[in-house]
Amino acid sequence: MDTLDTKTLQEYDRRYVWHPFTQMKEWESEEPIVITRGEGSYLIDSDGNRYLDGVGSIWTNVHGHCKKEINDAVKRQVEKLEHSTLLGLANDKAAILAKRLVDIAPPGLCKVFYSDNGSTAVEIGIKMAFQYQQHRGKPEKTRFISFRNAYHGDTIGAVSVGGIDIFHGVFRPLLFPTVQAPSPHCYRCELSPERNSETCGRLCLKELERLMELHGPETAGLVIEPLVQGAGGMIVQPDGFVRRVRKLCDRYDILMIADEVAVGFGRTGTMFACEKEGITPDIMALSKGITAGYLPLAATLATQKIYDAFLGEYRELRTFFHGHTFTGNPIACAAALASLDIFEEERLLDNLPHKISYLKERLKALLDIPHVGDVRQAGMCGGIELVKDKESREPYPWEERVGIEVCREARKHGLFLRPLGNVIVVFPPLSISIEELKQLLDGIEDSIKAVTG
Ligand SMILES: *Cc1c(COP(=O)(O)O)cnc(C)c1O
């Protein structure tokens, strides 16, 4: 089955695969690119065409595709043990990885609860926070504060704390209600008419504090994507915002749950985004980059204080009754360990600043294009917002799908991109070279000009 030709593969895909976030009626009328290989920053299709992976295979890839050291680690692990449960047993790779994660995590996070995707990592955080409040004698603390434009995954609990109406609206009747705070989306600030980034952040915090004053006593936790709201459109928070949110959570006795599923593992220039703000959340969700894009794995980290609240006699029912079948899978953990080794051996974080500056310079230059309204960046993650009218910031109507058109055009330049509405996303493997980054930004620039010109 490995050697089917492109036509047959496309036929099988069209006939049998239901793709995520995809209008299948359209998909069925197109010829999909079928990826069969990966090499460094490139994906290679069944006809041998190469595409620079501009979105790091949906924000997961760190060291490039088919990285020898990770391949070898996975092969070695497969020969030893493919899976064994964490229900009633430990396994070596899960134990070693937990220690390594605690070593690099913001100080104070010291317990690792495994699962296998970002949505579950967040839901586990929500359930932990909820049950924690019960155990410490605050059963009235049952609510959560979430942010507008937030994305925490697609399962029902994760959607409940999400704030993107176009994805989440249809499921509203199924969701638990949250207290929704404004997010500092300076370019489109709803709170400050002058849309100035400093006032926007300040006004958002003021409103957050007002909501906490009102709902604090009944609130268990606050869920935040620190530094960058990813799927909401690569919306970058002003410096100090996360730090102030941490302070407010302390003041109103609310647990802070940091969703670092997208930004963890070096994306913003430090190992974790919270590190940039010098804070430790009470709970931190990790996934995407954890295995460098190799295998599904997630971890929810918690502090000793939270963990201790779950300790007791068996009959007291303080146990955290939650677990997934593939929790702590040793092959996935082996890939994650190999990835952390590469971070150290290749001094990956030390090598990022010049790539980050290059990206910054190139993004800034894109503002000269008439329909580029805003560019946003945090480390090696960038967003380019296209607008119909720059003066008034009038967006392109979503039905025009200008983002999709730009990404389609970019294929002619040998790039694979995936937009977020009218925002073109730049999220390449962290291992990308400057030459490849140049190819990526040149292609994006030309594609934007071709489509919006
Ligand atoms: C992708 C993402 C998730 C969901 O992860 P899945 O593995 O797709 O379930 C959650 N939070 C953030 C910030 C994400 O970017």
**How do strand 143-147 and strand 179-181 relate by DSSP bridges?**
parallel
How many angstroms separate the alpha carbon of residue 154 from the centre of ligand 1? 8
As a whole number of Å, the CA-based R_g of the chain is 22
What pLDDT, on a 0 to 100 scale, did the predictor assign at position 197? 67
Quick one: average pLDDT of 213-222? 98
Q: Is the pTM above the cut of 0.85?
A: yes
Closest ligand 1 atom to Cα of 287? 7
Segment 381-435, tens digit of pLDDT: 999 999 999 999 999 999 999 999 999 999 999 999 999 999 999 999 999 999 9
H helix count then E strand count, the chain: 16, 17
How far is the C-alpha of 164 from the C-alpha of 385, rounded, in Å?
17
Grade residue 190 by pLDDT with cuts at 50, 70 and 90.
Answer: confident
Q: What per-residue confidence (pLDDT) applies to 445?
A: 98
Quote the CA–CA distance of 127 and 329 in Å, as a whole number: 22
Yes or no: say if 257 and 129 are a contact pair by the CB < 8 Å rule.
Answer: yes
- In sequence order, what DSSP letters do the residues of 214-228 get, joined into one string? HHGGGEEEEEE-SSE
| 338 three-class SS | helix
Position in ligand 1 atom list of the atom nearest CA 230? 15
Q: Which domains are seen in the chain, by residue range? A: 33-62+349-452 (3.90.1150.10), 71-345 (3.40.640.10)
User: H helices within 24-142, ranges in order?
Assistant: 24-28, 56-59, 68-80, 92-104, 118-135
Site residues for ligand 1, CB cut-off 6 Å: 117-119, 122, 151-153, 225, 230-231, 259, 261-262, 287-288
Q: What is the pLDDT of residue 3?
A: 78
CA distance 166 to 151: 12
Residue 5 CA to ligand 1 centre (angstroms): 33
Ligand 1 atom 6 nearest Cα = 118
User: Nearest CA to 259 among 375, 60, 124?
Assistant: 124
Q: How confident is the model at residue 314 (pLDDT cuts 50, 70, 90)?
A: very high
Q: Which atom of ligand 1 is nearest to the CA of 225?
A: 13
Q: How is residue 193 written in tokens?
A: 């008419």
The region of weakest confidence among 119-123, 185-189, 299-303 is 185-189
Average of per-residue pLDDT across 329-338? 98
